[in-house]
Structure 1
Amino acid sequence: MTGASYDDQPEQPIIRDKRRMDPETYERRDAADVADDGTQVPSSGAEGVAGTDGEAVEGAPEADEQRAELLDLQDQLARAKADAYNIEQRYNAFVKRSREQEAAARDRGRADVVEAVVPVLDDIALARQHGDLDGPFLAVAEKLEQVLVARFEVERFGAVGDEFDPAHHEALMHATSADATATTVSMVAQPGYRRGSAVIRPARVGVVGPE
């Protein structure tokens, strides 16, 4: 009995595994990754692409963090510049205010000195009117007057014939005259003193005006 040859044996059925889910890894398989015989075909470059996408996905949060950090640093820099500007402005205002206060204090000090010396100046003026200002006392009096004019900018005012100004004169006596066309100083009891436009003491005078 002649045995049947191998070629005469019936062909075995081919089972193709076209399942979309890998039964072992439970991962989804694309149609292109499954061969006709049911075996899974590795896709060339798939891992590289997946890896690239993964890196891009993982890198996106890092880029957002860096961008947020940059914005925060820029905000801190802007705030620091604003603080420095405000400090500079406050310092400049402080310097300006200090200089103004220093100048005002210096003026008040000079005015206080002049006010304290005014009675002495009155005595000098009275002695000069009576001819008693001579000798060493004359030299001292003239030196004092020179210092007050040069260093303290003190000016004496008030003379007979000056037009009466209530801002600079204090009228102690008032008379009228038919010949007068304006109110003028007719007599000086005490001269006045001023520093610039500031009157330290008004001149005390007698005046004559029209009837």
Structure 2
Amino acid sequence: MTDIHGTQPGGAPDEERPGSGPVIRDRRLIDPETGQVRRPEGQQPSADAPQGSSTQEATPAGGPPAGPEDEPHPDTALAAERLEEMRRMQAEFVNFRNRTQREREGDRDRATSSVVEALLPVMDDIHWAREHGDLAEGTPFAAIADKLGQTLERFGVKQVGAVGEIFDPNVHEALMHMPADAPGVELPEGTTEMTVVQVMQPGFVVNDKVVRAARVAVADPA
């Protein structure tokens, strides 16, 4: 409301002051031009209230105020949770499958190693029969020995230890060390390392796992 009668500090109307005209004071709370709330002279805006207007909510810079439509839907959060659970279960399944595969391969190798250990006396007899010429090519026993070796190879069994091989302590067991000029010792030309010159017992390996090391005699190049 517009107050056309101002007052002096002493209580007398402003228009009654000698030599002054009528004084008009606009005491409306809302400024009709700006629409902002007016505050009494000398009063500072509250620190908690946004400057400019006490009747409007503060608007985040760069966009409209957040509303219920901007909040994530409960189904979205539930779907994300279920997806994370599915990924975790998938990772656990992959780890279980790999672990089971390794255990299965280990069990198979252990079973094969047990069979090879039981056949070691037979394999030694076959080795010595070949060394003495008793398994000539084309004889029935030679064919049987070849078939046995091929069958074992299908299960990852490999025979190690042969004359001329470089000595490897992982698969060879040196029973004798012979001089290079000893009778019957022949080293391959250009040999620079300790070499197998005689095989007493062949060794056997199952998928890189040594069942028995080859027992050999070795010699150093001169």
Equivalence for 1:118? 120
Deviations 1:140-193 (A, max 9, x none): 3222112112x1232223222322222221111112246986422222101122
Distance 2:221 2:143 in 1: 42
Counterpart secondary structure, 2:179: strand
Distance 1:183 1:170 in 2: 13
Unmatched 5+ stretches in structure 1: 1-65
**Greater Rg over alpha carbons, structure:** 1
Equivalence for 1:176? 179
Counterpart secondary structure, 2:199: strand
Distance 1:75 1:107 in 2: 48
Structure 1 residue 71: Cα displacement = 4.4
Contact 2:173 2:215 in 1 (8 A): yes
Structure 1 or 2: more helix by fraction? 1
Equivalence for 1:140? 144
Structure 1 residue 98: Cα displacement = 1.9
Equivalence for 1:192? 203
Equivalence for 2:156? 153
Deviations 1:37-90 (A, max 9, x none): xxxxxxxxxxxxxxxxxxxxxxxxxxxxx98xx744443333222222222222
Tell me the TM-score normalized by structure 2. Answer: 0.53
Counterpart secondary structure, 1:161: coil
Contact 2:179 2:219 in 1 (8 A): yes
The answer on 1:128 being equivalent to 2:130 is yes
Structure 1 residue 207: Cα displacement = 1.5
- The structure-2 alpha-carbon separation of the partners of 1:158 and 1:96, relative to structure 1 and needing over 3 Å to count, comes to closer
Distance 2:87 2:178 in 1: 66
- The structure-2 alpha-carbon separation of the partners of 1:178 and 1:97, relative to structure 1 and needing over 3 Å to count, comes to same
In structure 1, give the amino acid aligned to 2:93.
Answer: Y
Tell me the TM-score normalized by structure 1. Answer: 0.55
The answer on 1:162 being equivalent to 2:165 is yes
Count of aligned residue pairs for this structure pair: 144
Unmatched 5+ stretches in structure 2: 1-67
**Two-structure CA RMSD over aligned residues (Å):** 3.1
In structure 1, give the amino acid aligned to 2:87.
Answer: Y
Contact 2:199 2:215 in 1 (8 A): yes
Counterpart secondary structure, 1:94: helix
